[in-house]
Every structure is written in C-alpha cells, then in structure tokens.
Amino acid sequence: MPRIPWIAPDDHVSPFPDVETALREPNGLLAIGGPLSAQRLERAYRSGIFPWFSEDQPVLWWSPDPRLLIYPRALRISRSLRKRLRHRDYRLTMDQRFHGVIEACAAPRQSQHGTWITPEMMAAYLELHRRGIAHSIEVWQDDALAGGLYGVSLGAAFFGESMFSRATDASKIALVWLATQLDAWSFDFIDCQMPTPHLTALGGVEISRRRFIRALDSALAYPTHLGPWAFSARLDPLAWVNRTLAEGKP
C-alpha cells in the first residue's frame, strides 16, 4: 500500500500533495494530520480537498474521484417538494444560527454510530464562519429550528458540508432556497463531495476529479461573496423552480 503523506501538527500553510496522488482505495484519501485551522481548511477547499474523520482518528484529507456536484439550475424538485414549497408554513434565514445548525448536523442519527463532526471540526468551521466564508441556511417553524445546512463558499463555488431535518423535507427546502440564491448570484456549482443515492435523486451528477479541479479553478477566479449572507428581498424559490422546469431543466 502506498505511503500516505503526513502533515505536521503545526503546519498551517504548506501545499497539499497533488490530488492525482490520492488513493483509489479508500477512494480519495490524500493526506493525514495537520491542524484544522482556518488557513489549512481554506487551502484545502481551494485545492479540491476536504477533511473527514471520526473522533478516534487523526485528521484525514480527501479528494475522491469521481466527485458529486449539483448545478443550481439542475436541482431536481419532486412534486411533493413543490407542494411543500407552496405551503409556506416555514421561514428561511441565512447565517442567523450557524452554531445551532452545525450542532444539529453533529447530533447522532438513526443508523449512524457517532458523528464525523467532532468538537475540533465544529470549532474550525465556526472560525471559518467568523471569517465570512462558512455559511448556514436555517429553516424555521414558528420559533423552532426545523432544518438547515451549512457549507463553505469561495469564489463561485459552494462546498456543502452537512444538512439536517427535524420536520418533513426541511433540509430539502433549505437546499432549494440555497440553490435559488446561488443561481441569483451566478454561482457555478454546489460541491457535494461523495455520491449518495439521496443527493443523486436531488440532481447530483458525478464528474471526474480532473474535470472537477478545472471547474473549481474557474469558479475561484471570481470574487468570494463574503458573509454574513442574507436572502435577496424578492427571492421566490417556487417561481424559480417553475421557471427552470419551463426551460426544460431536469
């Protein structure tokens, strides 16, 4: 088995290995160790790399092949979800409760043992949020947080990290609102990292790592939309969904 490069615990700035050197099995494992500092994390995302590890592991850095992306206008909306969007028994905010969203995403779930969102990981993304490049979408029912998602934004790319639901379709509603806003801001894609049946059903498409890096380089040529974020005043996700359907999008 090839040796995996180790990053020193205090190394915040040195380049990552070339993503083409990542392992095939486990798919995309590229490097081990290093700090989860804001500098290291931003360098990772700009290189097409993300951290993913459990509490009993060192920091593991990944760049899988293929990569799953959602292009905002190709988001696939089921009839039942369109019906939920029409109900409007919820309200949406951005960057109003980042800590609450990431805590909810870290909570244990059925069929899962433990969580990959460790306290160290949570602290790192809270720092990215303070720096204006990590963002949350909150779905509210009355005054209760019913669902949401969070991720990192650089240039015209949004890197989705995790989502949660405490009410039917709440995380999907968050994703629709996010895609609508990102389309209004001319973002290129939402990086979903690893393929899953759930994300594929929402319109995620697999592309090669090499193609992803080219798309990422193009997206990073645009200025970063620094936070805090807020939804545009006249944003209408249902009208946006109906328009993309009329245009023949999936």
Give 209-248 pLDDT, tens digit per residue: 999 999 999 999 999 999 999 999 999 999 998 888 777 6
Q: Give the pTM.
A: 0.94
Residues 196-201: what's their mean pLDDT?
A: 90
| Topology of the domain covering 6-65 | Alpha-Beta Plaits (3.30.70)
User: Rounded to an integer, what distance in angstroms lies between the CA atom of residue 45 and that of residue 37?
Assistant: 12
CATH 3.30.450.40 at 68-246, yes or no: no
Question: Do 68-246 and 6-65 fall under one CATH topology?
Answer: no
pLDDT at 211: 98
Cis before 108? omega within 30? no
Q: Domains of the chain: which residue ranges?
A: 6-65, 68-246
Q: Which residue has the higher pLDDT, 119 or 101?
A: 101
| Phi-psi sector, 44: left (phi>0), alpha (psi -120 to 50), beta | alpha
φ/ψ of 108, rounded to 5, equals -55, 145
Take residue 170 and report the two structure tokens written for it: 């709440």
Residue of 112, 102, 103 lying closest to 134 (CA atoms): 102
Q: Where are the alpha helices (DSSP H) in 14-161?
A: 38-46, 79-87, 98-106, 119-130
**Residue 111 confidence (pLDDT) above 80:** no
